[in-house]
Amino acid sequence: SQKIEQNSEALNIQEGKTATLTCNYTNYSPAYLQWYRQDPGRGPVFLLLIRENEKEKRKERLKVTFDTTLKQSLFHITASQPADSATYLCALEVGGSYIPTFGRGTSLIVHP
Amino acid sequence: NAGVTQTPKFQVLKTGQSMTLQCAQDMNHNSMYWYRQDPGMGLRLIYYSASEGTTDKGEVPNGYNVSRLNKREFSLRLESAAPSQTSVYFCASGKGTISNQPQHFGDGTRLSIL
């Protein structure tokens, strides 16, 4: 069966460090992978999209990698800040479907 | 610019009651979606509308109906609420049947069914 796996345990890091979140998938061949941020009591907010033929994408302090061989995406936040504390969701989009399937999300807590 | 607006924000129902959740977007998006989010389950697609006049079932449609009233509005109806439908419901919109477009979410309706 198709699965999207994100670490259910919260990631705790110190301010200024790089946070790395993982999204693994099985039995998918996604054309695109998206990352969203969700704050408590709010809806998800789109952050970044990476295509299957792209290895890496950057936006300010954010970096996403996409390894279709390992079936894994890594989401990095450099110089993390307490304001980065949130739940981060990955979403896969299989080519032609245009509707992403979401992972359960990983909570990030950045300590001052 | 409001984006995606959902009403109400909170609601408590008794088992068997009916209710309609409202969603409106002001981004001129073609596609709209209804998700539910439960602890440990992530976002699950209930119904979607690829364009005005069309609706399709998602992963968990049982117990729900939808109406795409016009391009802006997409409502979700619970005809006979059950405790298993206690959840947070999110509406989202997107540019449409084009891959690689992000979804824009509302802030959810928190629904409790007693």
Picking from A49, A51, A102, the nearest residue to B102 by CB comes out as A49
Q: DSSP of A62-84, one letter per residue?
A: EEEEEETTTTEEEEEESS--GGG
Nearest CA in chain B to A33: B100
Confidence category of residue B87, pLDDT binned at 50, 70, 90:
very high
**The predicted structure's pLDDT at residue B2:** 78
Contact A34, A14 (CB under 8 A): no
Q: What is the pLDDT of residues A43-91, one digit of tens each?
A: 999 999 998 889 899 999 999 999 989 999 999 999 999 999 999 999 9
How close A42 gets to chain B, by Cα (Å)? 5
Q: What is the pLDDT of residues B13-34, one digit of tens each?
A: 999 999 999 999 999 999 999 9
Give the separation between CA B36 and CA B6, rounded to whole angstroms.
Answer: 13
